[in-house]
Amino acid sequence: MNNMNIKVPFVDLKLQHQPIQTQLQQAIQTVIEQGDFILGQALKDFETAFAAASGAEYGVGVASGTDAIALGLQACDISPGDEVILPANTFVATLIGVIRAGAKPIFVDCDPQTALIDLEAAARAVTPQTKAIIPVHLYGQMVSPRQLLDFSQTYKVLIFEDAAQAHLAEREGYRAGSVGTAAAFSFYPSKNLGAFGDGGILITRDSEVAQKMIRLRNYGAAQKYIHIESGTNSRLDTMQAAVLHQKLPYLPQWNRDRFNAAQKYDMELAPLASSGITPIQNHSTEGHIYHLYVIRVDHSCVVQRQQLQEELTAVGIQTGIHYPIPCHLQPAFTHLGYHVGDFPNAEMLANQILSLPMYPGLSHSQVKEVVDAIASSLHTEQQKLLLI
């Protein structure tokens, strides 16, 4: 399908960039003039600002969200032999981060309504080797901080937040990234705060974790040419940091925009619940920042998920599936020994979920257009059934 036929795109980044284009260009120009492309001043400024906005003390910019997880776990002293609990229904990068840190990933199932990690299942998965739990604040909704802190105290495991989809999300008085020992964020362009390329950050309140992270991203160097551990090269470019810092003040409004669009979706979709179309539930009320707006197409629905997705595409509405295969069933990770049926909720969601268009600037009339198109698919199919 060419661009001309897209009526409601899945995301539209131009809408956020056009109004602040001059200021973004100026920020990039300043970095060019200063020439401090690696570990420059704009990076330090952004690290401080982003950590403060998220309720943490230190920020360490890295090349991607995946590196923020992999190096961040190492910075928290997660090492080979340690077990790390994570939800089966996350983006594969959470898993890759655990494996790169050398730890053993232990999957657990999720809540079928919220798609967030099931902490009761996590409690059953704890062993003497368990060192950490990674709550993934999936789709922009935080896992309950109170329940996480209880869990951490009861089982003596550290919390490492995967906040890659949750920039400035809130719940129970906590910001995403301020609950655990450390938290990883991604600045992939379509994330709620996105760079003009790849980027990520680790934030923490623990100065030792921050210091270790600063070394790990810079070849393990404590100071120039003195390498006290084996690190890597993973720094957030000064230029990307300059762009991100310009965008940061707009993030609360962009998140509110997403929230308002989500409320409109909730309202418009409500009548379709009896037909088997239900949104993933929001238990964090106004703190949900809706990185994605996800519905479930239940097996009882007259149209199946794939058919609905195809019919929406045909009328110019772009959708996505986040994610179609849970981590424990990914071909690269069969050696971990998991099988179909191990995590019924994660597997059910993988088969039923559909992400609808969601971005700041998505209008209420576009939301209505999307829901009308869904209703029309259901109606057409119901009519066909009546004729048989």
Ligand X SMILES: *Cc1c(COP(=O)(O)O)cnc(C)c1O
Give least dist CB 143 to ligand X, A. 12
Give least dist CB 190 to ligand X, A. 9
Give least dist CB 94 to ligand X, A. 5
Nearest to ligand X of 186, 366 (CB atom): 186
What residues line the site for ligand X (CB under 6 A)? 64-66, 90-91, 93-94, 136, 162, 164-165, 186, 188, 198, 200
Residue for token pair 């909730």: 266
Give least dist CB 120 to ligand X, A. 22
Structure tokens at 164: 């890659």
Nearest to ligand X of 84, 277 (CB atom): 84
Give least dist CB 301 to ligand X, A. 27
Give least dist CB 186 to ligand X, A. 3
Among all residues, whose Cβ is closest to ligand X? 65
Structure tokens at 373: 């198109």
Residue for token pair 């999936």: 138
Contact between 50 and 59 (Cβ < 8 Å): yes
Nearest to ligand X of 346, 378 (CB atom): 346
Nearest to ligand X of 145, 308 (CB atom): 145
Nearest to ligand X of 64, 130 (CB atom): 64
Strand partners, 85: 106, 133
Nearest to ligand X of 136, 308 (CB atom): 136
- What is the rounded distance in angstroms from the CA atom of residue 238 to the CA atom of residue 25? 14
Nearest to ligand X of 164, 289 (CB atom): 164
Give least dist CB 387 to ligand X, A. 43
